[in-house]
């Protein structure tokens, strides 16, 4: 069965078209567009018209791809930025008009479960010790899910907390580069959120840490000195806390132009990578584990649900 999965977060909207046969998933196309849907939401509580227009333009492009590739079943999930905004219906109506279905504004717990499934089923079994903690650092929130992969996926606990690369940047990191006081403010926010996460998810039980989404994959690509962003080269690569700590410190003292010149840096991540790095570093300090980057994530989890439901 050919399925399509769309994930719309605070910073980007992404599409996966895949052929799914039982447990096997073969990627046909994977696309990502930075639309910054959550721009200003932390301050205003609503999507701006400019952010909606960028998102709808991406939906138009994805609709053409979906039709051209003969997708049989489609699911669209929307995450952190879409949960509490005052004009959510404008977003839902605009997506429905372009793709023929309403986006599902899923809970943080469901987002975490889908991310876990997509992340761990895309990595070799001998690379990931169980139980594993999957963290999905998004634009507005970060999902933590602890689970096991045996004959089936067994999710033990999951939680979503409101720390993400866009939210932390917009709230605190205003300088170019940010001041030490701004960085300390992010660290205080993240520490409080990690206490909240630890109350719901036993982080200390994790034997491995898997990170998904653009913050983690970009940082790992930078650490390994890749000449360009190559998902096949990034997938399954590991980074230690010492490496993440050193890179985070470098990014936070770089001016914007220097970050933008990095060959693996997507233009949409230039302004928010420092905030995301602070979130990842804090998680690694709390767990004491290196991070394994996964290029399979919530999109793959959503695609697999479509095959199961058929």
Q: Are residues 58 and 141 in the same domain?
A: no
- My answer on whether 133 and 271 are in the same domain is yes
Cα separation of the two ends of the chain? 9
> What global pTM score does this model have?
0.81
Strand partners, 133: 146, 209
Last residue of a domain, one of 84, 108, 132: 108
Residues 136 and 268 in one domain: yes
- For residues 39 and 135, state if they share a domain: no
The number of folded domains in the chain is 2
154 and 262 part of one domain: yes
The C-alpha atoms of residue 211 and residue 192 are separated, in whole angstroms, by 20
Which three-class secondary structure state does DSSP give residue 107? coil
- In this structure, is residue 117 part of a structural domain? no
Across 100-127, average pLDDT? 85
The residue-averaged pLDDT of 185-192 equals: 96
What CA–CA distances, in Å, run from 120 to 79, 154, 241, 263? 20, 11, 21, 28
State whether 93 and 242 are in the same domain. no
* CA dist., res. 61 & res. 128, Å (int): 36
Q: How far is CA 285 from CA 164, 187, 240, in A?
A: 17, 12, 10
Residue 149, in any domain of the structure: yes
49: Cα separation from own chain's centroid: 23
Six token digits for residue 262: 């990095």
Between strands 238-239 and 291-294, the pairing is antiparallel
Task: Check whether 309 has a pLDDT greater than 70.
Answer: no
Kindly state whether residue 228 falls inside one of the protein's structural domains. Answer: yes
Predicted pLDDT at 81: 64
**One domain, residues 146 and 276:** yes
> In Å, what is the CA distance from 66 to each residue of 79, 100, 179, 208?
21, 11, 45, 36
**Does residue 83 belong to any structural domain of this protein?**
yes
Both 139 and 17 in a single domain? Answer: no
Element (H or E) spanning 232, and its range? helix 231-234
Instruction: State whether 97 and 14 are in the same domain.
Output: yes
129 assigned to some structural domain: yes
Whether residues 97 and 225 share a domain: the answer is no
pLDDT at residue number 151 = 63
Is residue 310 included in any domain, yes or no?
no
Confidence of residue 80 (pLDDT cuts 50, 70, 90): low
- Domain boundaries, position 210: 123-294
Same domain for 127 and 243, yes or no, is yes
Residue 304: is its pLDDT beyond 90?
no
At 126 the pLDDT is 85
Whether residue 138 sits in one domain with residue 257: yes
Residue 308 domain flag: no
**Measured distance CA(162)–CA(297) in Å, rounded:** 19
């Amino acid at each position: 069965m050919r399925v399509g999965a769309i994930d719309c977060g605070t910073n980007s909207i992404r599409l996966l078209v895949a052929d799914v046969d039982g447990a096997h998933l073969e990627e046909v196309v994977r696309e990502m567009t930075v639309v910054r849907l959550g721009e200003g939401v932390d301050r205003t509580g609503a999507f701006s018209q400019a952010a909606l227009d960028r998102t709808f333009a991406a939906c138009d492009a994805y609709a053409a791809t979906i039709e051209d590739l003969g997708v049989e079943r489609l699911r669209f999930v929307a995450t952190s930025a879409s949960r509490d905004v005052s004009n959510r219906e404008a977003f839902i109506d605009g997506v429905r008009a372009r793709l023929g279905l309403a986006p599902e504004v899923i809970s943080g717990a469901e987002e975490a479960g889908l991310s876990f499934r997509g992340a761990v089923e895309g990595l070799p079994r001998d690379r990931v010790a169980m139980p594993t903690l999957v963290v999905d650092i998004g634009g507005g929130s970060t999902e933590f899910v602890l689970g096991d992969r045996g004959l089936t996926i067994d999710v033990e606990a999951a939680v979503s907390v409101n720390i993400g690369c866009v939210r932390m940047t917009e709230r605190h990191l205003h300088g170019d580069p940010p001041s030490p006081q701004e960085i300390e403010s992010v660290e205080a926010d993240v520490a409080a959120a990690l206490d909240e996460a630890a109350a719901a998810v036993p982080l200390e039980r994790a034997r491995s840490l898997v990170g998904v989404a653009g913050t983690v994959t970009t940082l790992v690509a930078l650490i390994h000195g890749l000449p360009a962003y190559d998902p096949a080269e990034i997938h399954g690569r590991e980074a230690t806390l010492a490496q993440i700590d050193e890179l985070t410190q470098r990014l936070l003292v770089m001016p914007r132009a220097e970050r933008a010149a990095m060959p693996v840096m997507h233009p949409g991540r230039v302004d928010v990578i420092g905030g995301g790095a602070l979130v990842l570093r804090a998680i690694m300090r709390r767990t004491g584990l290196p991070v394994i980057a996964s290029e399979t994530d919530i999109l793959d989890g959503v695609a697999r649900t479509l095959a199961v439901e058929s």
